[in-house]
Amino acid sequence: MPVRYLNSPVLKWPSPAEVEEALRRWALLERERRPDLLRVGYFGSYARGDAGVGSDLDLVAVVRASEAPFERRAVDWDLSPLPVPAEILIYTRLEWENLMQTGTRFARMLQQEAVWL
């Protein structure tokens, strides 16, 4: 998260390089914790290279399978080690393959933009 300079009211937002490095460390830990994790990546402003102060980090993960409903899967993922606010979408392998075949605007954007770690 943004940090304050000592007693100053000024906040310092992490650079995109700092965010990506923290994300890579987080992803390595998640791969160790979750043997079902197949891929993890990011999309949105950080992937496009136009992130700025206040930008959040949009993550996507593909897992082998999950019993949890799609909208509840992110609850078990701790994103707090990341230096900026983050959200994660978690797809099973089958859901991901189906999404990529839909040709929707969202699927095309993910195909073009996602940066996989």
- The stretch 80-90 carries a mean pLDDT of 97
pTM for this entry: 0.88
Residue 7 has pLDDT above 80, yes or no: no
Q: In this predicted structure, what is the pLDDT of residue 92? A: 98
How sure is the predictor about 4, in pLDDT bands with cuts at 50, 70 and 90?
A: low
Neighbours of 23 (CB within 10 A): 24
CATH of domain 16-116: 3.30.460.10
Buried b (16+ CB within 10 A) or exposed e, 33-47: eeeebebbbbbbbbb
SS3 (DSSP) at 59: strand
Residue 1 has pLDDT above 80, yes or no: no
Residue 9 has pLDDT above 90, yes or no: no
Q: Please give the helix or strand (H or E) that residue 70 lies within, else none.
A: none
Domain borders along the chain are 16-116
